[in-house]
Amino acid sequence: MRQIGSFANEAQARFFTDYLLSRDIRSHLESESDHSWSIWIRDEDQIQEAQSALTRFQANPQAPEFDKAPEAAAKARQAEAEDLARYQRRIRTGKSLFVKFGRYGVGPLTFVLILVCVYVAIFSRLGANEEWLRAWHITDPENPGHPFLPEVLHGQFWRLFTPIFIHYGILHILFNMMWLYDLGSMIEARVGSFFFLGFVAVSAAVSNFAQYYFTHYALFGGMSGVVYALAGYVWMRGKYDRASGLFLSKQNVVILLVWLVICFTGALGDIANQAHVAGLIIGMAWGRIAAYLAMRRPQ
């Protein structure tokens, strides 16, 4: 193992190691006493290629060749994780029977959110048992709307958040859990569970409030407002702060935007479109601001 250089900024160092991994160059990142971050290459045969890449990166970190480094590195890590999973299945132990948390698995808070959604789906019979769901809606559906959100005004603040756990139909919950698993785990791994918790809480409250404010209709639910917020955040943060390690492929961006438009047509029935739009807006704004602040940090 040999050191090829160092960075004063941790984010840039991690971005560069992502690029190396995307080129199948295994490296090690080490914190130094002067708060710099040194890059160590594990394979001596790859030293020259790594040094050449470092020279190009230091000269122009915005060069096109570095654009897809986080995405390619994430795919490489996923492939490694899948290889490891296959190996572990062959030598399965008692510990391996539990859900894997951390960098290559589902984030712990993401896992909890999915469990709560499944719990509510089971006991509400996928939204069919409205009596059971009365305490989960933003306001009691029997309330005519006057005054505005009376339960919340009298201290039942949880109603601003709990509609995200309500799902109507198997496709509804499967679609939302798929995106929650991917985006939530990515954000937890890169930014942390505490940030993720705050982000979900804010985006849930904003999207749920927007849906009720514009429709005055309480019978709505789903994680999709939060999902669009997560997607907006990852999209903007990854686009303007590549060192963040967050990314959303152009294909997924197109899928989410096309789905948003289709939902507005009414072809799929009653959809919480206002929650989708509010979630997307707050996510994009938050991601853009976070990227701006990250890029202004001293290098």
Looking at residue 13, its amino acid is A
What CA–CA distances, in Å, run from 9 to 2, 18, 85, 192, 242? 20, 14, 33, 19, 13
The yes-or-no answer on residue 224 being catalytic is yes
SS3 (DSSP) at 27? strand
Choose, from 185, 203, 224, 244, the residue flagged as catalytic.
Answer: 224
Choose, from 137, 167, 172, 276, the residue flagged as catalytic.
Answer: 276
> Exposed/middle/buried for 118, CB within 10 Å: 0-12, 13-18, 19+?
middle
Spatial CB neighbours of 27, under 8 Å, sequence gap ≥ 6: 17, 20, 21, 39, 40, 41, 42, 50
| CA–CA distance, 232 with 278 (Å, rounded to integer) | 10
End-to-end C-alpha distance for the chain, whole angstroms: 26
The yes-or-no answer on residue 172 being catalytic is no
The residues carrying an active-site annotation are 224, 276
